[in-house]
Structure 1
């Protein structure tokens, strides 16, 4: 029992639900992490595909879950002046990072991963909550029943 005596023991339970904005932050942070992995793989000359679970029904009517590869499209492109530009997507919508600004301009591809890491930390700390709320509202409006 001497090993446990050095630890601070509490009676805290794990929360059963997270606030909606925290779920949105986690979703966007995961997508940014995928973009970082894609950029690292392309820098090394490799390909990157993410895996996801998909439920399918066989011809016999049996439902089973299989792991499939998900294609990850890059969020960056090269502009007319030769600079690399990155935009952040939430679903199919581009997130407005500042008033009227949707892209981050970089001098080269070497700056891509550190820039995405900065944006990811901003998302996790809640700096982009208002923009995420606006974009998720636009996405939800497209699914309204008529």
Structure 2
């Protein structure tokens, strides 16, 4: 019992709840890295997929869990002029960067990875904190 005397016993306490802003910012950086990988694959002419676990029904009627390669939902697209546009998304909704503006005009395909890298750096540096907080508050 003398070894236990060296420990400091206290009342139980619930774990600290995570901040919604910190969660949104962390998820945004994670998703931007996924978009960057997809953009790099697009520039190379390849398709980007990620492994996901899904239950698949076999020929014998049994459902088994299998890894399936699926494409991600891209945050970039071509507009009417054929130029690439990008939209930052938090909680699956476009973030308003400036008043009334959610799209970023990229232009050519090969410029997209550089733009996404710049966005990752901006989010990590806290340059978009106000926009993310306003988006979460809505």
After TM superposition, is the score higher than 0.5? Answer: yes
* TM-score, length basis structure 2: 0.69
Higher mean alpha-carbon deviation, 78-87 vs 109-118, is at: 78-87
* TM-score, length basis structure 1: 0.66
Establish whether residue 106 from structure 1 lines up as the match of residue 106 from structure 2: yes
Q: Distance between the aligned counterparts of 2:68 and 2:136, measured in 1?
A: 26
Structure 1 pair 30–70 and aligned structure 2 pair: CA distance change class (3 A): farther
Q: Which residue of 1 aligns with 2:37?
A: 37
Structure number with larger C-alpha Rg: 2
Contact 1:75–1:89, Cα closer than 8 Å, also in 2 = yes
Q: How do 1:94-133 residues align onto structure 2 when only pairs under 5 Å count?
A: 94-133=94-133
Q: Which residue of 1 aligns with 2:82?
A: 82
Gaps spanning 5+ residues in structure 2: where? 1-15, 56-63
1:97 deviates by 1.2
Q: Distance between the aligned counterparts of 2:66 and 2:82, measured in 1?
A: 42
Contact 2:36–2:113, Cα closer than 8 Å, also in 1 = yes
Gaps spanning 5+ residues in structure 1: where? 1-15, 57-63, 139-146
Q: Which residue of 2 aligns with 1:141?
A: none
1:70 deviates by 4.8
Q: Distance between the aligned counterparts of 1:48 and 1:83, measured in 2?
A: 20
Q: Distance between the aligned counterparts of 1:86 and 1:119, measured in 2?
A: 11
The residue matched to 1:77 in structure 2 has which SS?
A: strand
Structure 1 pair 24–70 and aligned structure 2 pair: CA distance change class (3 A): farther
Contact 1:53–1:65, Cα closer than 8 Å, also in 2 = yes
